[in-house]
Structure 1
Amino acid sequence: MKLYWFLVAAIIPVIAALPSLIPPSSVTTGDLVEKHGYPFEEHEVQTSDGYILTMHRIPYSARVETPEPRPVAFLMHGILCSSSDWVLLGPGLGLAYLLSDAGYDVWMGNARGNTYSKRHATMIPYLPNFWNFDWHEIGMNDIPAMIDYALYETKQDQVSYIGHSQGTTTFLVLSSMNPKFKNRIRSAHLIAPVAFMDNMKSPIVKLGGPLFGNPNSWINIFGNTELMPNTRLLEQLGQQNCMDTSTYQALCSNMIFLFAGFDHDNLNTTLIPEILATTPAGASTNQIIHYAQEYVSGKFRQFDLGRGHRKPKDYPLDKIDVPIFLYYSENDYMASVVDVEKLMRKLKKKTLKRAYKVPDPNWNHLNFLWGLNIKEQVYNAVMEDIESMRYQ
């Protein structure tokens, strides 16, 4: 058993070190959407600091006729993920399809540095300066650029915002630091919300957090580099070793559980090869370091540059004035119940419209994207809340 876990721990840094020079996976969000007969569009927008981001759009449903104009739903992925998160489960289960079938114009964002957003007006992703960002910049620059573009294209005034994991963190950054942006948001639906992290249970973070979360640690000289890009190699490994018939599938499952929380009953093991074909999708090491700092400090605050720099400021959560809905679970290793409840207390009472705790006590961080019973456990509640704000 010790050898087993040694192998799991050894594989993770190897995957993390895979260079972006290896060809990316052949599976794209467009492939996943179009194979089900839904219309698909790709759009590009440039941020104020020069990053060129790709957004994916399902403008209308292939199954249901809905009148125009359609309300806009904007979906934002978590760390090391991409727009594919929302469509991997297919129609009837994937949140992008559920929203499309309910009459929404669905836009899916891709943060700087992931598979679809690795370009810049003046920099190239093979040099460290391209990766000099963390999730603060994603919140302050990427999300407003993408939402403004979607609203301009659709001639709508507001979006329903739905984020998972880092997609919740970045929204809290934006809405606390730029309160005026509230006029573009009808409501925010934060799934597995990550802000405070000092009670998280992930063994990987608990092991590496104190080292990476110390801004004066020597390990942080490795900042400004790419982390875990999407590669053809991972796609092939998933196909060969993580299929239902593979003897190594348990290893694939437990690599996921180490980050997310153990839940054998709700893991869709058949989906693992498809998940590995699109995830991880790449990020900057500074995004991980910033989360590690949250774990060590117990605060939700800006990036700490360390000795010789100003003390980082807390994000002013009390300034958020957008209707917020939270969805969390008991067995989430990344967003513990204690930390989510701390976030609740920091928000204005009039701002927090609902905090929905998943009934299943074993539900974990990634079940919110790919769990077997996701519609019953989570998405029915999310859809109900989005619809409740549709005409307000």
Structure 2
Amino acid sequence: MCQLVSIEWFHGFDMIKWFLVLVCVSAVAARRSPNADYIDELESTRQGRYSSDILEDARLDVPGLLAKYGYPYEVHNVITEDGYILEMHRIPHGRDRNNRPNPNKPIVFLMHGLLSSSADFLVLGPGNALGYLLAEAGYDVWLGNARGNFYSRRHRRLNPDSIINQNFWKFSWDEIGYYDIAAFVDYILQRTKQSKLHYVGHSQGGTTFLVLNSLRPEYNKKFKSFQGLAPAAIFTNNDHLVFSALAPFENIIETTAFSMGIGEIFGNREFITWFATNFCHEGSIFHPLCGYAMTIVTASENFNQTMLPLFLGHAPAGASIRQVAHYGQCIRFNAFRRYNFNLLTNLAVYGRRTPPEYDLSKITVPAYIHYGLRDREVNYKDLHILAKKLGNTVGIFRIPRETFNHYDFIWSSKAKTEFYDFLIRKIREADRMH
């Protein structure tokens, strides 16, 4: 199954200010999910404990998942101003409801968090995952993939696999916001002939929205609403022990990694695969510890461990070391500011010794901030600080369950009833304001 191809060229534009776009054909069977090989080993080790549907979904990439469940889909490639080739997935309409093409459907753009991909919004399956629910609710759904993840690991000139030249990986979420999100938004609006869209960003997906609209405030007019699912920006109240322990060493970690020819984090799954298949299978004395570790990582009381192969089939999906280092700088210096290179580079790039903070008051998009009280990655107190700094906060909304946390936004078995239904109501509310 392939998509219709449409190639549109932009002539006469300054390449420094604009980007090239290209839509490519993609076959369903051409690719497997980021960690499909890992799932194969997990299945053989656990001797078919999980249903074949879960294991099949774990191996399929996003187009494969959409095709399997009978949803219309398109694969689009967007080339950014600085040459990164990004893959975007589209669900133009529903399967069971609102299932006819309509060029005037309101648009929702979904952006994943750190180390994730567009699969975040689909792994819970039809009837449960946000991407499917929005399509059934009558929205034209677009799902982005940040540079460096499994789907967007290409560049016009740079090689992501080069050990000698790490330039492909010398980006943080600053570039993702400034270049990638701008390219996605411009492409979607040009393609659909519409003027605005809704933006839903989880964690880093929220960070990149804030980066774009503070650095390029002209983009504010292109959004109907910003639905921030625990957007990561302020860390004044961070109490995550691992984050606090690593943040002081952010510069050393990145420098060391690049000197070793490593620019990517979780691009190579060999150790995790080896450990999981040898020590986490049923019957191993470490099996209870593995289950406990996942519970600790997710901190979710609604995390279905039967779904573990499916989640691990799609995440982690890769990211740059610098993305992590940039968050470390935010924690270390207690400031939401641009990436801190070094004195000389800062002077060359920013014209000052230290990087400037993002001016959140320039963000005038109606902002809806959503949070859980048990979120350890993004403390709810910091989201209240963020909401006060934004230029147009409509409201800050707590998910009622007191134990709702960072991973429940994408992996909770009760995400639909606890949050997604409410989120869709808020998106409809924003629609009525336009």
- For the aligned pair, the TM-score class normalised by the smaller chain equals 0.7 to 0.9
From 281, 298, 306, the counterpart of 2:342: 306
From 83, 90, 93, the counterpart of 2:125: 90
Q: Which amino acid aligns with 1:188?
A: F
Q: Which piece of structure 1 moves more, 74-83 or 378-387?
A: 378-387
The alpha carbon displacement at 1:380 in A equals 1.6
1:339 has 2:375 as partner: no
Aligned residues: 366
Q: Which piece of structure 1 moves more, 169-178 or 301-310?
A: 301-310
From 86, 100, 109, the counterpart of 1:74: 109
Q: What is the rounded CA distance, in whole Å, between the counterparts of 1:368 and 1:244 in structure 2?
A: 28
From 306, 313, 316, the counterpart of 1:280: 316
Q: Which piece of structure 1 moves more, 329-338 or 25-34?
A: 25-34
Indicate conservation of the 8 Å contact 2:35/2:312, yes or no. no
Q: What is the rounded CA distance, in whole Å, between the counterparts of 1:130 and 1:301 in structure 2?
A: 22
Q: Which piece of structure 1 moves more, 38-47 or 135-144?
A: 38-47
Match of 2:26 in 1: none
Q: What is the rounded CA distance, in whole Å, between the counterparts of 2:82 and 2:202 in structure 1?
A: 24
The alpha carbon displacement at 1:24 in A equals 8.8
Q: Which amino acid aligns with 2:336?
A: F
Q: What is the rounded CA distance, in whole Å, between the counterparts of 1:383 and 1:218 in structure 2?
A: 40
Q: What is the rounded CA distance, in whole Å, between the counterparts of 2:269 and 2:64 in structure 1?
A: 16
Q: 1:174-220: CA deviations, max 9, x gaps?
A: 111111101211111000111012322333212212212xx4x4763
Q: Which piece of structure 1 moves more, 192-201 or 141-150?
A: 192-201
Q: What is the rounded CA distance, in whole Å, between the counterparts of 2:185 and 2:78 in structure 1?
A: 10
SS of 2:317 mapped into structure 1: coil
1:36 has 2:69 as partner: yes
Q: What is the rounded CA distance, in whole Å, between the counterparts of 2:156 and 2:143 in structure 1?
A: 22
The alpha carbon displacement at 1:307 in A equals 4.0
Q: What is the rounded CA distance, in whole Å, between the counterparts of 2:35 and 2:415 in structure 1?
A: 35
TM-aligned CA distance change 1:273 to 1:22, over 3 Å: closer
From 413, 422, 425, the counterpart of 1:372: 413
Report which of the two structures shows the higher radius of gyration computed on alpha carbons: 2
TM-aligned CA distance change 1:314 to 1:60, over 3 Å: same
The alpha carbon displacement at 1:259 in A equals 4.6
Q: 1:18-64: CA deviations, max 9, x gaps?
A: xx999798431112222211112111010000000000111111111
Match of 1:17 in 2: none
TM-aligned CA distance change 1:92 to 1:156, over 3 Å: same
The alpha carbon displacement at 1:84 in A equals 0.4
Indicate conservation of the 8 Å contact 2:35/2:315, yes or no. no
From 63, 83, 91, the counterpart of 2:96: 63
Q: Which amino acid aligns with 1:93?
A: N
Query: Mind listing any 5+ residue stretches in structure 2 that lack a counterpart?
Result: 1-33, 40-58, 347-352
Q: 1:132-188: CA deviations, max 9, x gaps?
A: 100000000001101111122222211110010000000001111111101211111
The alpha carbon displacement at 1:247 in A equals 7.0
Q: 1:216-273: CA deviations, max 9, x gaps?
A: x47634247011027588679768877899875644444445555x23x211212111
Indicate conservation of the 8 Å contact 1:204/1:259, yes or no. no
Q: What is the rounded CA distance, in whole Å, between the counterparts of 2:220 and 2:128 in structure 1?
A: 29
TM-aligned CA distance change 1:204 to 1:320, over 3 Å: same
**Percent of aligned pairs with the same amino acid:** 37
1:321 has 2:359 as partner: no
Match of 2:402 in 1: 361
From 152, 164, 171, the counterpart of 2:190: 152
Q: Which piece of structure 1 moves more, 74-83 or 224-233?
A: 224-233
Match of 1:129 in 2: 167
From 194, 203, 206, the counterpart of 1:165: 203
Indicate conservation of the 8 Å contact 2:35/2:313, yes or no. no
Q: What is the rounded CA distance, in whole Å, between the counterparts of 2:179 and 2:85 in structure 1?
A: 11
Q: Which amino acid aligns with 2:119?
A: S
Q: Which piece of structure 1 moves more, 131-140 or 327-336?
A: 327-336
SS of 2:431 mapped into structure 1: coil
Indicate conservation of the 8 Å contact 1:230/1:278, yes or no. no
Q: Which amino acid aligns with 1:131?
A: W
1:294 has 2:337 as partner: no
Indicate conservation of the 8 Å contact 2:35/2:314, yes or no. no
SS of 2:181 mapped into structure 1: helix
Match of 2:23 in 1: none
Indicate conservation of the 8 Å contact 2:112/2:203, yes or no. yes
Query: Mind listing any 5+ residue stretches in structure 1 that lack a counterpart?
Result: 1-19
TM-aligned CA distance change 1:23 to 1:253, over 3 Å: closer
Match of 1:47 in 2: 80
TM-score, normalised via structure 1 length: 0.86
Match of 1:114 in 2: 149
Indicate conservation of the 8 Å contact 2:234/2:382, yes or no. yes
Q: CA RMSD in A?
A: 2.6
Q: What is the rounded CA distance, in whole Å, between the counterparts of 2:129 and 2:36 in structure 1?
A: 29
